[in-house]
Amino acid sequence: MLLRYLKQLPTGILILWCYLIWYLVIAASYFAWDMRLWLNSMGIALIVGTALILATGPLNLDRIKNNFFQVMRLVLCPFFVSSFSALTKGKGFFLVFSPIMQENLIALLACCVFVALTLFVKRLHG
């Protein structure tokens, strides 16, 4: 099942996976047990995510059921953006890049491994 998913993975979604990988590496490095930070991020995700869903089509159970992952991405993106921003505030980041080169290299390497694995599966089963 995983191989079939990777084989059919469009380039745009592959890039989104790399965004998630980058987020997870940086969030793991700067994780904070601050309940307000996570609740604020969830609140922003619900408000902005709902607006994004409404801006791209109807908000109903059929859409959620038939396009679950698309709807979830519309909600999760604002969560990731707001929590990333809160976790890295005042830490010397430039855009999404850590001031610590090793963190950037780990995130980049993790993305490259995922892309290489995906391309390998596509060529192997293409």
Tens of pLDDT along 29-68?
999 999 999 999 999 999 999 999 999 998 899 989 999 9
What is the spatial distance between Cα 41 and Cα 93, in angstroms, rounded to a whole number? 19
Q: Does residue 104 have a pLDDT over 90?
A: yes
Token pair, residue 83, equals 């929590």
pLDDT, average across residues 98-117: 98
Q: Measured over all CA atoms, what is the biggest interatomic distance in the chain, rounded to whole angstroms?
A: 47
- pTM greater than 0.85 (yes/no): yes
- Give me the chain's average pLDDT, please: 95
